[in-house]
Amino acid sequence: MSQRAAVRRKQAIFRWVTVSVVLAFFMLPLIGMLDFTTKVRRGGRTMATWKTLMNVSEISTKYPALKEGFIASIGLSVITVVIMLALLVPTMTWVRLRLPGMSRLVEFICLLPLTVPAIVLVVGLAPVYSWVFYLFGESTLWLGLAYVVLVLPYAYRALDAGLRAIDVKTLSEAARSLGASWFRVMWRIVLPNLRTAVLSASFLSVALVLGEFTIANLFSRRNLQVAMYQLGKSDAKISVAVGLLSLVFAFVVLFAMSFVGAQRSGSRRRRRPLAAAVAPAPAGTGSVKEPS
Amino acid sequence: MAKSPRSGTRALGGIKPSGALAGVVPFFAYTTVFLLIPTLVVIIAAFVSDGHLTLGNVRALGNAGFLTALKQSIILSALTAIIGAVVGGILAYAVSTARPDGILKRFITSLCGVLAQFGGVALAFAFIASFGAQGMISAWMKKAGVGPSSTLWLYQWDKGVLLVYLYFQIPLMLIVFLPAVEGLRPQWREATETLGGTTWTYWRRVAMPILFPSFVGATLLLFTNAFSAYATAAALVSQAQPLVPLQIAGTFTSETVLGQANVGKAMALAMVVVVAIVMAIYAWLDRRSSKWLVR
């Protein structure tokens, strides 16, 4: 019994030492960012950068590129989330109900973007986008079509966890036998039941889109990250402040989601994200029961 | 696949099998255009030039510039993968001993999620702001009288870039490896102790063999992650193109040079090949390691 306690104590000490050291490494550059944005040349502090950042009218007159990028990123987030939901929710529900044999294929496709480097995707997308820009005009917002692909793996996992937690089959059988159309089933039955999963898929997508740089930069489009990157060369303070803000925003999203998603019964699956991603183990080999 | 007999009840029927297939058409059409075609474009265009089949693009990869970049990319990815895996692995174990739903674990996993997946340009900025000429940490180092006199090191691929890459590799290791560490059952430790084993025996004979495949798998994943990273490197390195993703971007923006675009595709194909090899090893390992984990 006392040996247990000793092990516990040792573990606790080890935990705190390790976590403190690594956290210091994680936090120092972030604190460095805060320090950089508030520094005055001869020592002392100023909140001028942050005040500018919070002042919408000043931002839009002094940094039109930043405003343009920010608006583009917001638009891109909305487009990406809408297309992602419209594409994934019906398909995943439908596959679950009517085409269970296809679930592996759908999973494989959804997780594929994890293994294709974004830079490679850009190279391959170039001809596709030369058509898109040619047919529909040069708007930055078309990038949303490619962003849907980028967010597929994350959105898929979130929605999959949600679908696991509800009994789609019984719900839709009930609705169908009461005379609901398939559209009604989707809109009034499945979607409300997937509320949490849809929310987390959407927030993850938004965070991802707000942080996207590679595709926009190489297609010479200006989103938030590209604007920040370009601004870094002329006005470092404001761009570092924007960078810090975007990191904090992503953190708040993930931290909040860790509370929301925790009680879902599908969470066990979500806890091995990348492992499940690359090796959608075929039935029979991967599902070896635990030999305990 | 779709023709397999379904146990659908009448309420779910009403649409014939062909109709059921129609339900997934939008999804497949979309992913074909924006995922499969781009992938095929890279593979096919690497062997095409002016409408002819050619090995010229692939042969162009043999030039010294690309080979150096490839070598440096691989070294950088391997180094950050190994260091990241060791440090992140220790961190993952430390976190796994905390309370399962405690605030510490939530905080660390969320922070790691941000740094590993959403950082990009901002991470490079964080290091420039801290280690640059007017940075907080450079100022500390100057005061302490240690550290290099110039801040040039920050922009070199084997120093500064390596450090920044660790800044997203260690967090990724935590995210990938934590489930494996959490799969270690306390009962296994108790069983070892009952049989007279020490902590060392437990680690040497029980925990390490179980964790080893996951650990190697996670290391491979970190490798591909660093190998594919672009945003951070692009924000940090502006002068040269020491890494493959930067070289691809270079061919992409300078399409005035004839045939460069297709060389870029050949480079992209080379990247895909490297990633595919690593991923194949990973998939094989993952199947082995999943034996010991609850799916």
Q: Would you state the pLDDT for residue B54?
A: 78
* For range B147-153, the mean pLDDT: 74
Please tell me the distance in Å from A28's CA to the nearest CA on chain B.
Answer: 8
Q: Residue B290 pLDDT more than 50?
A: yes
CATH 1.10.3720.10 in chain B, residue ranges: 64-292
* For range A20-33, the mean pLDDT: 92
Pick A46 or A262 by higher pLDDT. Answer: A46
User: A19 touching B, CB under 8 A?
Assistant: yes
pLDDT-derived band at B13 (thresholds 50, 70, 90) equals low
* For range B177-191, the mean pLDDT: 87
Q: Are A121 and A146 in contact (CB under 8 A)?
A: yes
Q: Would you state the pLDDT for residue A26?
A: 92
Pick A104 or B283 by higher pLDDT. Answer: A104
Out of B170, B234, B287, closest to residue A279 by CB: B287
**How far is the C-alpha of A228 from the C-alpha of A223, rounded, in Å?**
8
Q: What percent of chain A has pLDDT over 70?
A: 88
CA neighbor of B24 nearest in space, from A115, A95, A76: A95
Please tell me the distance in Å from A240's CA to the nearest CA on chain B.
Answer: 6
For chain A, the distance separating the N- and C-terminal CA atoms, rounded to the nearest angstrom, is 24
pLDDT-derived band at A292 (thresholds 50, 70, 90) equals very low
Please tell me the distance in Å from A61's CA to the nearest CA on chain B.
Answer: 24
Q: What is the ipTM of this complex?
A: 0.80
Contact A123 B268 (CB under 8 A): yes
pLDDT digits (tens, 9 = 90+) for A189-229: 888 888 888 988 898 898 889 889 999 998 888 999 999 99
Q: Would you state the pLDDT for residue A273?
A: 39
Q: Are B72 and B157 in contact (CB under 8 A)?
A: yes
Q: Would you state the pLDDT for residue A91?
A: 92
pLDDT-derived band at A83 (thresholds 50, 70, 90) equals very high
Q: Residue B12 pLDDT more than 60?
A: no
Q: In DSSP terms, which residues pair with B49 in a beta bridge? A: B52
Q: At what angle do helices B121-131 and B136-144 cross, to 10 degrees?
A: 30
User: A263 touching B, CB under 8 A?
Assistant: no
Q: Would you state the pLDDT for residue B294?
A: 52
User: A9 touching B, CB under 8 A?
Assistant: no
pLDDT digits (tens, 9 = 90+) for A101-115: 888 899 989 988 888
Contact B252 A274 (CB under 8 A): no
Q: Would you state the pLDDT for residue B260?
A: 65
Please tell me the distance in Å from B51's CA to the nearest CA on chain A.
Answer: 15
HEC-encoded secondary structure of chain B: CCCCCCCCCHHHCCCCHHHHHHCCHHHHHHHHHHHHHHHHHHHHHCCEECCEECCHHHHHCCCHHHHHHHHHHHHHHHHHHHHHHHHHHHHHHHHHCCCCCCHHHHHHHHHHHHHHHCCCHHHHHHHHHHHCCCCHHHHHHHHHCCCCCCCHHHHCCCCHHHHHHHHHHHHHHHHHHHHHHHCCCHHHHHHHHHCCCCHHHHHHHHHHHHHHHHHHHHHHHHHHHHHHCCHHHHHHCCCCCCCHHHHHHHHHHCCCCCCHHHHHHHHHHHHHHHHHHHHHHHHHHHHHHHHHCCC
Q: Residue B88 pLDDT more than 90?
A: yes
User: A94 touching B, CB under 8 A?
Assistant: yes
pLDDT-derived band at A117 (thresholds 50, 70, 90) equals confident
User: What are the residues whose beta carbons fall under 8 Å from the beta carbon of B181, sequence distance 6 or more?
Assistant: B89, B92, B93, B96, B211
Q: Tell me: domain B64-292, CATH 1.10.3720.10, correct? A: yes
Of the given ranges (A157-161, A206-210, B78-82, B151-155), which has the lowest mean pLDDT?
A: B151-155
Q: How many CB atoms lie within 10 A of CB B105?
A: 19
3.40.605.10, 3.40.50.720, 1.10.3720.10, 3.10.20.70: CATH of A79-219+242-278: 1.10.3720.10
Contact B33 A22 (CB under 8 A): no
Contact B8 A278 (CB under 8 A): no
Highest mean pLDDT: which range of A5-19, A212-226, B79-93, B251-265: B79-93
Highest mean pLDDT: which range of A136-140, A222-226, A277-281, B279-283: A222-226
Question: What residues of chain B, 166 to 225, have a C-beta less than 8 Å from chain A?
Answer: 167, 170-171, 175-176, 178-179, 182, 185, 187, 193, 199, 214, 217, 221, 224
pLDDT-derived band at A269 (thresholds 50, 70, 90) equals very low
Highest mean pLDDT: which range of A170-179, B2-11, B183-192, B278-287: A170-179
Residue A244, Ramachandran bin (φ over 0: left; ψ between -120 and 50: alpha; else beta): alpha
pLDDT digits (tens, 9 = 90+) for B103-120: 888 899 899 988 988 778
pTM: 0.82
Q: Residue A288 pLDDT more than 70?
A: no
Q: Which of A18, A25, A66, A98 to mutate to test the interface with B (most CBs of B within 10 A)?
A: A98
Out of A91, A220, A228, closest to residue B27 by CB: A91
* For range B200-210, the mean pLDDT: 88
Q: Break chain A into its structural domains and give their ranges.
A: 79-219+242-278
Q: Would you state the pLDDT for residue B186?
A: 84
Q: Would you state the pLDDT for residue A287?
A: 30
Q: Would you state the pLDDT for residue B14?
A: 52
Contact B24 A259 (CB under 8 A): no
User: A26 touching B, CB under 8 A?
Assistant: yes
Q: Which of A96, A114, A120 to mutate to test the interface with B (most CBs of B within 10 A)?
A: A120
pLDDT-derived band at B39 (thresholds 50, 70, 90) equals confident
The token pair that represents B28 in the structure block? 């497949």
Q: Would you state the pLDDT for residue A261?
A: 56
Out of B110, B113, B245, closest to residue A119 by CB: B245
Alpha helices, H only, A219-262: 224-234, 236-260
Out of A119, A127, A243, closest to residue B122 by CB: A243
* For range B90-100, the mean pLDDT: 88
Q: SS3 for A39?
A: strand
Out of A30, A117, A212, closest to residue B275 by CB: A117
User: A169 touching B, CB under 8 A?
Assistant: yes
State the average pLDDT for chain A. 82
Contact B31 A254 (CB under 8 A): no
Q: Would you state the pLDDT for residue A18?
A: 92
Contact B41 A124 (CB under 8 A): yes
Q: Residue A283 pLDDT more than 90?
A: no
Q: What percent of chain A has pLDDT over 90?
A: 25
How many Cβ pairs within 8 Å bridge chains A and B?
Answer: 317
